[in-house]
Amino acid sequence: MADSMPLPRAPKVLAIVQAGGKGSRMGALTADRAKPALPFGGTHQLIDITLSNVANSGIGSVWVSVQYQAGSLDEHLQHGRPWDLDRNVGGFRRVVPDEVDAVRTGGFAAGNADDLYRIRREIEREDADVVVVLSADQIFALDLRDVIAAHLETGAACTIVTTQVSRSQASDKAVVITDATGKVTRVAEKPENPESTTISAEIFVYEKDALLSGLDKAEKATRPDDGKGEDVVDETGLGDFAEHLLPQIIADGPVRTYPLEGYWKDMGRPELYLAAHRDLVRGVVRVFDDVDWPMRTLATNRGAARVRAGAVVAESVISPGCDIAGTVRGSTLGPGVVVREGAVVEDSVIFDACVIERDAVVSTSILDANVAVRAGVRVGTSSAGKRAHDDAIAVVGHDSVVRSDVVAGSQIDPGSTVA
């Protein structure tokens, strides 16, 4: 019998989920939690979406890089247990950039490229061929095995997963420019006048050595000083990916794109967060619909929701433990929300354990957990007058008591009493 050809070795893959930013544009919602800990769809957290895509793609070595309010994620992550990542080989690991071996480690990382630089020694020691880097605050469904296969086939130093947005949205993102062959020639970070509507979906596949080399070269090229020729210890100058790291990798080796088909949205601002929930209740977001691609999360112990006689529920997402006697339209209710008789909730996202008392109205608003809206109070605009920008959305921080009306655009700090 002739000798058979040996099968090619499967690439060793490390996934790094970046969950570190302060999310300051989310206002009261991220005052004391990491943005990836925000709920989505009532029962999940934002980070569940990214981790589920990674786990469903068969990637068994997963790091979560988190700094700001790390404790707000620890209980939920459960050492990777909800995603079957609590294993002896590979598995789940939380890395904290300001605790690992890096030249500049003071303070928080200033951007996602800076975050990678701070854990570069850890990446270097990892036995991996390919490093997949993903954001933890976006909604999408993607088999990363397909992206990795395309990356290896093209021999790219980096593959950028891309998506299409409007021109106005592109001004707030990293725009990706390619030539006729599909090779990336340039990236532009938040351009005022974008020349393309193709943006990075904040999902990257790197050849490990190309990533480490790019980080090292970009850091040396951008190393700040104090004006006297001495390094500033607490900064690298790398910022976000499109500022220095990707341009360096583009200069050194081929960078390709992989278009993401289907829904994608990031959760950078309250109006985007509310818009994604509007899409969810209208059936535009289908990330929860595929039983073969489950979005896993830490299970709730609450019982089934209850809808009482006379209640009206239309085009809404209702979580376990809810008790509804009033009207809910076009909204997402987290676990344990109570809507009393005569109360109305419309075009809103209500976090867990909120109570909307009799004859109160909550419209075009986001209410954090354990908010009590007293009887007859109005929060937010009417649905007929909603506008898709920050100052149209009332945001109420957790554990607040609302005793008087809250107008559109208000930001109520956590633990407040609105009298």
pLDDT per position as a tens digit, 231-282: 554 455 788 889 999 999 999 989 999 999 999 999 888 999 999 999 999 9
Residue 234 belongs to a domain with what CATH number?
3.90.550.10
Question: Within a domain: residue 417?
Answer: no
Same domain, 244 and 200: yes
Question: Within a domain: residue 1?
Answer: no
Confidence band, pLDDT 50/70/90 cuts, at residue 338: very high
CA distances from 39 to 9, 33, 35, 71, 416 (A): 39, 11, 9, 15, 21
Give the per-residue pLDDT at 406: 93
Asked if the model's pLDDT at residue 40 lies above 60, the reply is yes
- For residue 234 the two structure tokens come to 């607490």
Confidence band, pLDDT 50/70/90 cuts, at residue 103: very low
Beta carbons of 15 and 105 less than 8 angstroms apart: no
Same domain, 318 and 263: no
Question: Within a domain: residue 326?
Answer: yes
Confidence band, pLDDT 50/70/90 cuts, at residue 395: very high
Mean pLDDT of 109-133: 89
d(CA 121, CA 117): 8
Same domain, 207 and 343: no
Q: What percent of the chain has pLDDT over 90?
A: 64
Question: Within a domain: residue 345?
Answer: yes
Give the per-residue pLDDT at 7: 47
- For residue 13 the two structure tokens come to 């893959």
**What total of structural domains would you count in the chain?**
2
Same domain, 104 and 182: yes
Residue with tokens 């957790």: 398
Same domain, 75 and 154: yes
Question: Within a domain: residue 382?
Answer: yes
Q: Which contacts qualify for 390-393: CB closer than 8 Å, 24 or more apart?
A: 390/269, 390/270, 390/271, 392/271, 392/364, 393/270, 393/271, 393/274, 393/364, 393/365, 393/366
Give the per-residue pLDDT at 187: 95
Question: Within a domain: residue 292?
Answer: no
Same domain, 272 and 333: no
- The single-letter code of the amino acid at 333 is L
Question: Within a domain: residue 359?
Answer: yes
Same domain, 84 and 192: yes
d(CA 25, CA 351): 18
Residue 373 belongs to a domain with what CATH number?
2.160.10.10
Beta carbons of 229 and 141 less than 8 angstroms apart: no
Same domain, 274 and 319: no
Give the per-residue pLDDT at 79: 72
Q: Which residue has the higher pLDDT, 94 or 60?
A: 60
Cα 157–chain centre separation? 25
**Residue where a domain terminates, one of 230, 249, 282:** 282
Give the per-residue pLDDT at 60: 87
pLDDT tens per residue, range 295-316: 999 877 899 999 999 999 999 9
Same domain, 316 and 366: yes
Q: Which residue has the higher pLDDT, 215 or 19?
A: 215
Residue with tokens 């005793």: 403
Cα 212–chain centre separation? 24
Same domain, 116 and 175: yes
Mean pLDDT of 98-106: 45
Give the per-residue pLDDT at 170: 92
Asked if the model's pLDDT at residue 92 lies above 80, the reply is no
Domain of 155 in residue numbering reads as 13-282
**Residue where a domain terminates, one of 248, 282, 316:** 282
Same domain, 266 and 389: no
Asked if the model's pLDDT at residue 35 lies above 50, the reply is yes
Mean pLDDT of 133-149: 95
Asked if the model's pLDDT at residue 169 lies above 70, the reply is yes
Q: What are phi and psi of 36, to 5 degrees?
A: -65, -10
> How do strand 332-333 and strand 317-318 relate by DSSP bridges?
parallel
Among the ranges given (49-53, 151-155, 379-383), the one the predictor scored with the smallest mean pLDDT: 379-383
**Residue where a domain terminates, one of 266, 282, 298:** 282
- For residue 75 the two structure tokens come to 């209980």
Question: Within a domain: residue 353?
Answer: yes
Same domain, 224 and 372: no
Give the per-residue pLDDT at 25: 83
Mean pLDDT of 390-408: 90
